[in-house]
Structure 1
Amino acid sequence: MKISVIHGICVRNDAISNAIADNIGWLIEAGHEVVLFTYACEHAVPHRLVRDVTDIMTDAHFQASDAVIFHFGIYYPLFDLILLVPERARRLVVFHNITPKQFVGAEHHATIDKSFAQMANMMFADHVACDSASNLAVLRAARVSTPASVLPLAVHGQAQPCAAKPGHADGIVRLLFIGRLVRSKGVADLLDAVERCLQADSGVRIALDLVANLGFSDAALVGAVRAAADEWPRRYGPRVSLRLHGDAPDQLKQRLLAEADVFVLPTYHEGFCVPIVEALSAGCRVVCYDNSNTPAIAGGLARLVPTADIALLAQAIGAELALARAPAWRQDGFASFAGQAWRYAHSFAPARARHRLSAWVLDAVNGVLDH
């Protein structure tokens, strides 16, 4: 089967791009001929760089495709091509949700408005796969009645449950954040809450690491993180360190996950949230705000905090700092939690996601999902 995949970009350290790369790899392994059409590509997948929709419309592979899969999470002109897909091809969309404009800067509001308007294109799809039930609810709230189902993303977690954390031996509690440094991820809330913990507990030793795609981050928040990294050691001495890992390679991210005691993500909106599952797979305790898809994706294993309540966020982090230092936790509690969290995270294993994706494409092409 010939399949065309359409998206604006396919770059490193981007959740949608990673999902696209996964999907293409699995479909090729299943024997299909797949080509990605995009403006920019950093992943090792078959692709053709294009300038606009006309470059795709005249392509022989596109014209001969049995299915055309569009990924959508923000406005991009190539998504309008769904109206011009060859008649013989099935039109499929993977919907990754849209960040509401109240959680982004004013300079992005026009793009968010265009994104919600462009959702109407999904009315022309044969079927829509949503990352989560939350995304499906957003689709229906937008009055898109196209047949749709939930197709969870794959999470490349740890091969086995974590046996221990470095903090169990050296007493340093390691906190980790993974995500873009933007308002919607709650970076400013995180810095405020951690500093409150340092002020409230003079005996705690904290190492805070932030892994971020700087190309998609807010320059002011990047500056705030770097300023805190300079100021905190002067203010609180050697009992705190803050490190920013911009565009970190996957090996470094996996090491930081394996070492971290607590993963903190005070995000204001998530359509899925791969990092929460990655953190659970690595035996990290999780603290996050209680909105959008975070309660569902955490599977009852996170400490949920009312969104935007920084005082309660600090209390939740403080409780995790105390737990991480408790002898009973290190002796017995951690091993039990790490095993339970790993088993839950394993339900998102790539092998399972690959099977779901292949079945979805075949069923869509054969008309099984039309109703």
Structure 2
Amino acid sequence: MKISVVHGICVRNDAISNAIADNIGWLIEAGHEVVLFAYACEHAAVPHRLVRDVTDIVPDPHFQASDAVIFHFGIFYPLFDLIMLVPARARRLVVFHNITPKQFVGAEHHATIDKSFAQMGNVMFADHVACDSASNLAVLRTAAVTTPASVLPLAVHGQAQPCAAKPGHADCIVRIVFIGRLVQSKGVADLLDAVARCLRADTTAQIALDLVANLGFSDPVLVDAVHGAAAEWARVFDSRVTLRLHGDAPDELKQRLLAQGDVFVLPTYHEGFCVPIVEALSAGCRVVCYDNSNTPAIAGGFARLVPTGDIAALAAAIGDELALVRSPPWQADGFATFAAGAWGHAKTFAPARARCRLTTLVADLVNGALDN
């Protein structure tokens, strides 16, 4: 069948873009002819056509001949209004990734968030909506969007097998990893504050904190704050701590940091899914995160959950993890037991499973199996 996929962008180091690339690859492997229509695309393997607006898409022969048109939605973009101009013969599927509420973003983004929630109403024009998580589906239902829906978790490309050991078991350096945009909603300032508290409270702790971030989608003020903390910590704590920012890091570096990491900390204020938590568990990292939106569900009982916004509790939780991963019982067999269980949970998000769910849903939608 012919399938059109529509989104604003498909770029590196972006969760929605990665989901789009996965979906298109799977559909092509299933024998379908797929084209992405977008303003920008950095994934060379994705068949795409760059457009300026909907008028570049409507007359396109592939779009007009499509059996299905798939829209990904997580933030306002004008091309999403094309859902009302889809050819009558085509089925319309929306993949909903949720919207970050405006109380968790800077004031300069409030207008965009307001437009995003208004545009979310376009989902009512879809024949079906696929949500990354049950919490995302709840957002739609709360907004009185009653479109038939399924929950399709995203694919997570994690470790091929449980992690055998961590470098910190030998050198006593606790490696903490953060992955995410440097924006208010990801709790970057909370993380820096909490780690500094841990260093002051435990003068024996040696910490290496690595932050992996897409700088193109980050707040310059928070980027400067990370650089400032690195300089201040070097003066105050000397060699007890290293703080490194890896901007736009390749996936290989991210995976290596997770493989070496002891603790993954993400004090996020809102998540529609949260791939990094699953990646961290797959790599045998302990996880500390705030308890909101989809984080409790995605962690599957393998995370230390902290009341959202409670920096003192966050510091205490990180401190507990510092003590745990340095303890003899943990290094003797506690780690191996945890890593095996966490890896087993992470494998429930394996790409092969996500591929089967997505390709089956699209086929059922086009064939009318979802109409009843």
User: TM-score, with normalisation over the residues of structure 1?
Assistant: 1.00
- For the residues of structure 2 that align with 1:142 and 1:254, how far apart are their CA atoms? 37
- For the residues of structure 1 that align with 2:294 and 2:371, how far apart are their CA atoms? 27
The equivalent residue for 1:181 is 182
CA-CA distance at 1:366 after TM superposition: 1.3
Alignment-mate amino acid for residue 222 of structure 2? L
User: Secondary structure at 2:115's aligned position in 1?
Assistant: helix
Alignment-mate amino acid for residue 68 of structure 1? V
- For the residues of structure 2 that align with 1:31 and 1:63, how far apart are their CA atoms? 19
User: Secondary structure at 1:288's aligned position in 2?
Assistant: strand
Within 5 Å, give how 1:1-371 maps onto structure 2: 1-43=1-43, 44-371=45-372
Q: Is the 8 A contact 1:283 1:337 kept in 2?
A: yes
- For the residues of structure 2 that align with 1:114 and 1:163, how far apart are their CA atoms? 47
CA-CA distance at 1:98 after TM superposition: 0.1
1:164-192 Cα shifts (integer Å, max 9, x gaps): 00000100000000000000000000000
Q: Is the 8 A contact 1:147 1:370 kept in 2?
A: no
- For the residues of structure 2 that align with 1:128 and 1:96, how far apart are their CA atoms? 10
- For the residues of structure 2 that align with 1:42 and 1:307, how far apart are their CA atoms? 35
CA-CA distance at 1:370 after TM superposition: 2.6
User: Secondary structure at 1:57's aligned position in 2?
Assistant: coil
CA-CA distance at 1:136 after TM superposition: 0.3
User: Secondary structure at 1:157's aligned position in 2?
Assistant: coil
Gaps of 5+ in 1: none
- For the residues of structure 2 that align with 1:290 and 1:251, how far apart are their CA atoms? 29
Runs of 4+ in 1 over 3 A off after TM superposition: none
Alignment-mate amino acid for residue 265 of structure 2? V
Alignment-mate amino acid for residue 12 of structure 1? R
User: Secondary structure at 1:149's aligned position in 2?
Assistant: strand
CA-CA distance at 1:32 after TM superposition: 0.2
User: Secondary structure at 1:297's aligned position in 2?
Assistant: helix
Aligned length: 371
Q: Is the 8 A contact 1:286 1:301 kept in 2?
A: yes
Gaps of 5+ in 2: none
- For the residues of structure 1 that align with 2:368 and 2:199, how far apart are their CA atoms? 58
CA-CA distance at 1:108 after TM superposition: 0.4
- For the residues of structure 2 that align with 1:370 and 1:241, how far apart are their CA atoms? 56
Q: Is the 8 A contact 1:132 1:271 kept in 2?
A: yes
Q: Is the 8 A contact 1:282 1:342 kept in 2?
A: yes
User: Secondary structure at 2:57's aligned position in 1?
Assistant: helix
Q: Percent identity?
A: 83
- For the residues of structure 2 that align with 1:39 and 1:292, how far apart are their CA atoms? 30
- For the residues of structure 1 that align with 2:63 and 2:91, how far apart are their CA atoms? 12
Q: Is the 8 A contact 1:127 1:370 kept in 2?
A: no
- For the residues of structure 2 that align with 1:190 and 1:155, how far apart are their CA atoms? 24
- For the residues of structure 2 that align with 1:368 and 1:316, how far apart are their CA atoms? 48
Alignment-mate amino acid for residue 313 of structure 1? L
User: Secondary structure at 1:12's aligned position in 2?
Assistant: coil
CA-CA distance at 1:368 after TM superposition: 1.7
User: Secondary structure at 1:13's aligned position in 2?
Assistant: coil
User: Secondary structure at 1:87's aligned position in 2?
Assistant: coil
- For the residues of structure 2 that align with 1:145 and 1:154, how far apart are their CA atoms? 26
- For the residues of structure 2 that align with 1:239 and 1:233, how far apart are their CA atoms? 8
- For the residues of structure 2 that align with 1:126 and 1:265, how far apart are their CA atoms? 35
- For the residues of structure 2 that align with 1:369 and 1:322, how far apart are their CA atoms? 51
